[in-house]
Amino acid sequence: MSLSSGSNISRWIEQARRESLFGRHKDQLIGALLMKGGKVIARASNLSRPYGDCNRGFHAEERLLRKRCAKGCTLVVVRSNRRGQPSTMSRPCHKCFPLVQSSGVKKIVYVNWEGQIVVERVKN
């Protein structure tokens, strides 16, 4: 499976959306997949969390990157609402992004504010 193949990316987005439904945050559900060679090697959703800076460790990306070595992998992140519908802007937040960079992830696939799928190369 090539990352440049639109049908594969759409399938990955759908798998991450389904993973987001396991999230336990009351408003926004996040699902993340770690992909290597076109296969899902790990998945995670976000947990309910306290507000403010003490919410570390509850984001789907953080939970996922603690499970597996991510060097050379692709990270797919999707945000859904409580009805299970995809929401916009699922790029990792400003606190998670440095973790993504240091983990060795080479690309991130997410949905931007306009609802478009973005494939972003990560500068490590």
**What is the predicted pLDDT for the residue at 50?**
58
What is the rounded (10 degree) CA torsion for 93, 99, 100, 102?
Answer: 150
**What is the predicted pLDDT for the residue at 70?**
94
Domains and CATH numbers, the chain: 6-121 (3.40.140.10)
Please list, in sequence order, all residues whose beta carbon lies within 8 angstroms of the beta carbon of residue 124, skipping any fewer than 6 positions away.
101, 102, 104, 105, 106
Would you place residue 74 in the very low, low, confident or very high pLDDT band (cuts 50, 70, 90)? very high
More confident residue, 45 or 56: 45
Strands 107-111 and 117-121 come out as: antiparallel
Distance CA(11)–CA(78), nearest Å, equals: 12
Would you place residue 92 in the very low, low, confident or very high pLDDT band (cuts 50, 70, 90)? very high
Distance CA(39)–CA(59), nearest Å, equals: 22
